[in-house]
Amino acid sequence: MRLQNYAEGQWIEGKGKGTELFHAVTGEKVAEASSEGLNFRAMADYARTVGGKKLRAMSFHERALMLKAMAKYLMDRKDEFYPISAATGATKVDSWIDIEGGIGTFYVYASKGRKELPNEPYLIEGNLENISKGGTFVGRHICVPLEGVAVHINAFNFPCWGMLEKLAPTFLAGVPAIVKPATVTSFLTEKMVKAMIESKILPEGALQLICGSAGDLLDHMTCQDVVTLTGSADTGKRLKSHPAIVEHSVRFNMEADSLNCSILAPDAAPGSEEFDLFVKEVAREMTVKAGQKCTAIRRTIVPQEMVGDVITALKKRLGDVKVGDPAVEGVKMGPLAGKSQVGDVKRNLELLKHAGEIAFGQPEDFQVVGADKGKGAFFPPVLLYCKDPLKKSEPHSVEAFGPVNTVMGYANIDEAIELARLGRGSLVGSLFTANDATAKKVVLGTAPYHGRMVILNRHCAKESTGHGSPLPHLVHGGPGRAGGGEEMGGIRGVMHYMQRTALQGSPTTLSHIGNQWMRGADRPEATRHPFRKFFEELEIGETLTTHRRTITEADIVNFAGISGDFFYAHMDDIAARTSLFEKRVAHGYFVIAAAAGLFVDPAPGPVLANYGLENLRFVKPVYIGDTIQVKLTCKQKTVKETPEGVVAWDVEVSNQNAEAVALYTILTLVKRKDA
């Protein structure tokens, strides 16, 4: 079978002699892959001019709904991917992480896109910056989609997840993508991309696929493009220095394999829950995906006096792991992705043996269940022990990308931190402790060298996702050897594919550009009460200026009785005189309640409900005898898929001297005429 590339809206078989791809368990040929004959320049242009144009015309909410629809579609077809995933050597659990875990990133970004981003094609970011004395010249930031293409170069270990975790923030940002999976497992990526194209959910040109070499694609990168890589540090260095990437300052995000560590704290002694959790997690990270994870534990750092106990416990747990065909019942670890990976792991294991001895596992003498060891890409779990980890460099510089791990001892917490930092930058570290003081010290000492730190103990272990599971809500990446990049991270990940531009001008002009009223901008007085208007009738900036109300002592006393708030500043005249207020003040919450009484229109109408209040600030006290007035301004409108839209109102409560006393935003559901 010859794999197909998806380029310029067509499925195309590459020409020439393809790269042969083999079943990781049986060694049988399953496909050939070639990208020869593809016009890479045309692919990039097609993405920019066709896919990018369509995506940029969509709002964040429309893109989020697209992600949700695709996630549902792929989940409905998930059973088609599992048999193909088995050919990569994956167990059912491995496949679940790759397939359903990947689809899950689309669900997360779909949710975050609709909750945290506006229903606009762009984002107005941050607060208004006052940069002039009179407030007529202000600044703010706008984030818009880049007008290029995102080229995603992925690793062999997660053919589905590796693609989807990058596509989710890319598509949400409004940028098209060209996906280049690692060739050895590209047959699974091709199957999922075919399903995505068949769904017709994505706009034309949003997604293209290369099965094989990326050819001269990077030669055609521009300043509007993004290149991301998951793979080895050596490959990353080579691509990052590509002439086109350097010349055009192309955004380059790299997530490289790293020498991740797990630390057992001194309080987690044998017999404790934390000790048992630690041993279980280290063994799991060695065997899930046969240790072929960029986040897998490579260095196990334990108190010197517990080294023997840890090695004994790990040997017992690893001894129960059956290696073989994942289709056979009882097999807990499959093969590596291919024979070339076996050779790489063996070579690096030999280097690691210069710094330590093998405590468990024999690479040349192990049993394989249900398969021919000579034909498949099998490799057993191997545990090493390094006696002098501060003097030996290999455990901190050599990675065997497979089920290989090195145990090393430390004398004190400072030494444990030093060992963790010797990895020169890691994707993830974990710490097992029930001592919060220890946790704080280790985190502050190791955080500069890690992209993620996981602190596990009996209190969170049951619901923990574990050491090696990156989550779409949080950043996935790390400094130094780990690549210096970030992926996912919720909305942070979306920003990698957008241009942040500082805007300077009058508040009125910037309000018009961003379709969001900003303080200081014009606000024409409403000729009809805004609460009598449907969603479509409301104009950004239109303002209701209310009648006034004078605050009395009776108001304060009555509110105290209703609320139960008898704080001295409101009720004790003598104590209030010696306070920063110098005399009794009205309750802040009474002020905003009274403000609502001033601006609310009581009759039933298009405004259905107030469901939120944001950014409340009491900026000046309100005293007995002060008179308050409210300006209610339509700040922002958000269309929903429901019969109601959401309107954000700026509320400014001022006193008789026109001084602001309270500032906040309220959110209301407003009926739409056309829904």
* Angle of the 60-76 helix axis to the 186-199 helix axis, nearest 10: 120
CA 263 to chain centre: 25
Are 401 and 345 a contacting pair, CB within 8 Å? yes
- Report how far apart the first and last C-alpha atoms of the chain are (Å, whole number): 51
Rounded CA-CA distance 454/475 in Å is 13
**DSSP track, 192-244:** HHHHHHHHT-SPTTSEEE--S--TTGGGG--TT-EEEEEE-HHHHHHHHT-HH
Sign of CA dihedral 172, 173, 176, 178: negative
Rounded CA-CA distance 442/424 in Å is 16
Closest CA to 379 of 390, 393, 366, 396: 366
Rounded CA-CA distance 5/186 in Å is 10
Q: Which one of the listed residues 32, 190, 255, 399 is annotated catalytic?
A: 255
Written as six digits, the tokens of 367 are 């049993």
255 among known catalytic residues: yes
CA–CA distances in Å: residue 243 to residues 42, 218, 422, 497? 20, 9, 32, 21
Question: Tokens 């490579």 appear where?
Answer: 298
- Other Cβ atoms less than 10 A from the Cβ of 604: the count is 8
Strand, helix or coil at 504? strand
**DSSP track, 16-78:** SSPEEEE-TTT--EEEEE--TT--HHHHHHHIIIIIHHHHHTS-HHHHHHHHHHHHHHHHHTG
Q: Which one of the listed residues 294, 486, 644, 652 is annotated catalytic?
A: 294
Q: Which residues contact 597 (CB under 8 A, 6 or more apart)?
A: 549
Closest CA to 606 of 674, 546, 524: 674
Are 300 and 282 a contacting pair, CB within 8 Å? yes
Residues acting as catalytic residues: 255, 294
